Amino acid sequence: MVTPVDHAKTDLPAKQEASTILYALEQILADAGIASAKSDARCLLGMALGRDEAVLPHEDIAPMDQACDDRLAAMMARRLAGEPISRIRGWREFWSLRFAVSPATLDPRPDSETMIDAAVRWVSRNAAKDRPLRLLDLGTGSGCLLLALLSELPQANGVGIDVNLDAIATARRNAASLGLGERAAFTAHSFADDLGPLGDFDVILSNPPYIPTGEIDGLAVDVKSFDPALALDGGADGMACWQQLLPRLAAALAVSGMAFVEIGRGQENAVTAEAEKANLQLSGSYHDLAGITRCLAFSIKM
């Protein structure tokens, strides 16, 4: 158990500056090799105090009672075991919106905002923003991609599919809490299912599982132990979901529409080749903040 300040041995004033506790927490986290020790310490102390926001060092906080100490110790133990802050607090910010995460959902990644950025730009270049666009998100997880794009396009509506019913329930909750429930529907479908009954879509988004099975063990503990395997595992060569998904995606994409997909590092050529077999043509590629090609755009081959 981690107790950064022992009340029995210290003579705490009625209020104390948070810096002492924060420094102690930060040291413990940093010694465990956690790169985000400073911001994690601020978030964890905030949560232990029952606050939504992080605690800053100059703040005066009330002395911590036993219940607060226990909460802090329990959360520190989880963080030291590799659990990400987002899973401990139950939500993650994505595209400046708050998304609840659950054991069934991928923890939304900042890199995936590359897709939203590309899609928003494509829509505004094509002057389609005021049209009631139809959006589709294949493998929706928390719903972060669909809901982020819907938040930018007030006339649009969309459908998110996922094979995991718990993920769908989380996505529905996120839609409701973001006030987007009227424009977002979530249904249980597999990438292998015919999407024909859902109709034609102007914009399709997808971030499917694309990590080769053999590489999952080598991923950081916060990914391999806390993201669901179903969200990560792309089969032996990372291409299994692409092979199922791309023909379905092509069949659901409107002739004038555009699909934006997230790819794994170095998957550009293999995914493009698979897309071409499905009658899609590469129309754009976008890199993330690290300069890695992260998103490809495909349209129907003319």
Ligand X SMILES: C[S@@+](CC[C@H](N)C(=O)[O-])C[C@H]1O[C@@H](n2cnc3c(N)ncnc32)[C@H](O)[C@@H]1O
Name the residues that contact ligand X, by CB under 6 A: 106, 108, 112, 139-142, 144-145, 162-164, 167, 190-191, 207-209, 230-231, 241
User: C-beta of 110: minimal distance to ligand X in Å?
Assistant: 11
Q: Which residue, 46 or 108, is less far from ligand X as judged by CB? A: 108
> How far, in Å, CA of 47 to CA of 25, rounded?
13
User: C-beta of 249: minimal distance to ligand X in Å?
Assistant: 12
User: C-beta of 61: minimal distance to ligand X in Å?
Assistant: 34
> Given its phi and psi angles, is residue 82 left (phi above 0), alpha (psi -120 to 50 degrees) or beta?
left
User: C-beta of 16: minimal distance to ligand X in Å?
Assistant: 39
> How far, in Å, CA of 119 to CA of 130, rounded?
15
Q: Which residue, 26 or 288, is less far from ligand X as judged by CB? A: 288
In one-letter notation, the amino acid at residue 178 is: L
Q: Which residue, 37 or 231, is less far from ligand X as judged by CB? A: 231
The burial class, CB within 10 Å (0-12 / 13-18 / 19+), for 62 is exposed
Q: Which residue, 40 or 162, is less far from ligand X as judged by CB? A: 162
Q: Which residue, 46 or 209, is less far from ligand X as judged by CB? A: 209
- 33's CB contacts (< 8 A; 6+ apart) are none
Query: Encoding tokens for residue 183?
Result: 């424009």
User: C-beta of 281: minimal distance to ligand X in Å?
Assistant: 24
User: C-beta of 59: minimal distance to ligand X in Å?
Assistant: 33
User: C-beta of 99: minimal distance to ligand X in Å?
Assistant: 8
> How far, in Å, CA of 184 to CA of 156, rounded?
9
CA atoms within 13 A on the CB side of 176: 7
Q: Which residue, 122 or 260, is less far from ligand X as judged by CB? A: 260
Q: Which residue, 112 or 267, is less far from ligand X as judged by CB? A: 112
- Positive or negative: CA dihedral 42, 43, 45, 51: positive
Q: Which residue, 188 or 273, is less far from ligand X as judged by CB? A: 188
User: C-beta of 250: minimal distance to ligand X in Å?
Assistant: 16
